[in-house]
Amino acid sequence: MKALLFGLLTFASTTSFAQDIYLNEYNYTVPDIARRGLTKERIFTGMEREFIKLGSSICSNRALLWANDFKRQYGINSAKLFLFYSEKTGEAGDKVWWYHVTPLVNENGQLWALDAGFPRFVRTPLLPQEWLHKFAGSRACKEIKQGEDDLIALMFTQRRFPSRTRYGTHDCYYRITSDPYWTPGTVAQNLLQRNSRGESINFYRDAIQTGELMQACVEASTTPVGGFLSRPRKKCREYLGLTEED
């Protein structure tokens, strides 16, 4: 599992311990937080859990907000780990999902999943393979690679992936990305350079998009009734540090 998880990565060491991680296919560096005197535990403990409605928000909205928080609070880029379920997996409590996503940070050259959305289920940072196993209930997860267009296109369907494909039999699938990629659809558009209708596009994210961030914030911080009554966009601008012009 570990070898698969680092298929997209290279390392750039600047000290005997600190190692930045470079995501080759995204031209993106995930800096080592240890160099800044940070620990994964400190970041995990400080993740927002009140403004973001953990029980009713979508994981991709939470992950985008947390990634933005990491930039604002600590000045660090993070990565993301997208998990895609097959028909053999996908049950977490009383919910059935087709995907899940968490932010990743780099400590001493090792990626760690910081999933603060489930305080009773996840109490500490987890290694990526531990997080995959915890949420998928299986270690038979396949990395989705660039060029595997048939698998990538399944990200548009909003349904579980098949267990059997031309790549073998797997219980789950995953993809590591840079932090600006918000939803499975944005991941697919980047890898395929086409949209869900098959139209060619030029799709690349080198930074979190303000419009996507605002939408994620409004959806993650309000209930339908609360959103109607509480001017959520104003609250989100305050939370995100945005002005009226942003």
Whether 160 maps to a domain, the answer reads: yes
Question: Phi, psi (5° rounding) for residue 234?
Answer: -65, -45
How confident is residue 92, by pLDDT bands cut at 50, 70 and 90? Answer: low
Phi/psi region, residue 95 (left: phi>0; alpha: psi -120 to 50; beta: rest), is: beta
Question: Phi, psi (5° rounding) for residue 32?
Answer: -80, 120
Q: Give pLDDT, residue 15.
A: 47
3-state secondary structure the chain: CHHHHCCCEEEEECCCCCEEEEEHHHCEEECEHHHHCCCHHHHHHCCCCCCCCCCCCCHHHHHHHHHHHHHHHHCCCCEEEEEEEECCCCEECCEECCEEEEEEEEECCEEEECCCCCCCCCCCCECHHHHHHHHHCCCCEEECCCCCHHHHHHHHCCCCECCEECCEECCEEEEEEECCCCCHHHHHHHHHCECCCCCECCCCCCCCCHHHHHHHHHHHHCCHHHHHHCCHHHHHHHHHCCCCCC
Q: Give pLDDT, residue 35.
A: 93
pLDDT at residue 12 is higher than 70: no
What Rg value do the Cα atoms of the chain yield, rounded?
Answer: 18
136 lies in which domain range?
Answer: 2-240
Query: Would the pTM of this model clear 0.85, i.e. be above it?
Result: yes
pLDDT at residue 32 is higher than 80: yes
pLDDT at residue 245 is higher than 90: no
Question: Phi, psi (5° rounding) for residue 34?
Answer: -60, -30
How confident is residue 17, by pLDDT bands cut at 50, 70 and 90? Answer: low
Least confident of 164-168, 190-194, 221-225, 238-242: 221-225
Whether 246 maps to a domain, the answer reads: no
Number of domains in the chain: 1
Whether 197 maps to a domain, the answer reads: yes
- pLDDT tens digits, residue range 144-166? 999 999 999 999 999 999 999 99
Whether 45 maps to a domain, the answer reads: yes
- pLDDT tens digits, residue range 164-188? 999 999 999 999 999 999 999 999 9
Q: Give pLDDT, residue 231.
A: 80
- Give percent of the chain with pLDDT exceeding 70: 87
Whether 86 maps to a domain, the answer reads: yes
Whether 112 maps to a domain, the answer reads: yes
- pLDDT tens digits, residue range 52-85? 999 899 999 999 999 999 999 999 999 999 999 9
**Cβ atoms within 10 Å of 16's Cβ, excluding its own:** 6
How confident is residue 89, by pLDDT bands cut at 50, 70 and 90? Answer: confident
